[in-house]
Amino acid sequence: MRHRLRRPVRILVASMLVAALGLATVAPVAAARHAGCAAAESGWAEYAAAEAATLIWPSVVDQSPWGGDLNAFIATIEGLDLNGDGDLCLKRIAGFHENSPWHGVIFNYLVDNTANAADG
């Protein structure tokens, strides 16, 4: 009985090993992320991190976490650049209906340029 169990166990281990090796060769390809922002029609645009920070800075209501220092804010924004290429995607939403309590407020969405890049 013990002898019969060895063969299925060997087949199972061999199958798991083949599967693991297959994943190991596919994983780097799947992990390679595309750079760039989503389509411009969707409102996303690619900026250098410092440029994006400069655009956002006037609309930051409470600048006290950075001591009112734009350079400190730029350093924070540069920390969002996950792939190290210096670029980020920025989407600004403004122009809410005039009866909205959010009228005149600009919302800034800032992500790394690999976060929402289109495949292909």
DSSP output for 41-97: GGTEEEEEHHHHHHHHGGG-S--GGGTT-HHHHHHHHHTT-SSSSSEEEEEEE----
Secondary element (H or E) of residue 112: strand 107-112
- Per-residue pLDDT for 119 more than 50? no
pTM as predicted: 0.60
At 105, the pLDDT band (50, 70, 90 cuts) reads confident
Percent residues over pLDDT 70 in the chain: 65
In angstroms, the CA 79 to CA 59 distance is 19
What pLDDT does 89 receive? 92
What pLDDT does 2 receive? 52
Secondary element (H or E) of residue 2: helix 2-31
Per-residue pLDDT tens over the stretch 88-100: 999 988 867 788 8
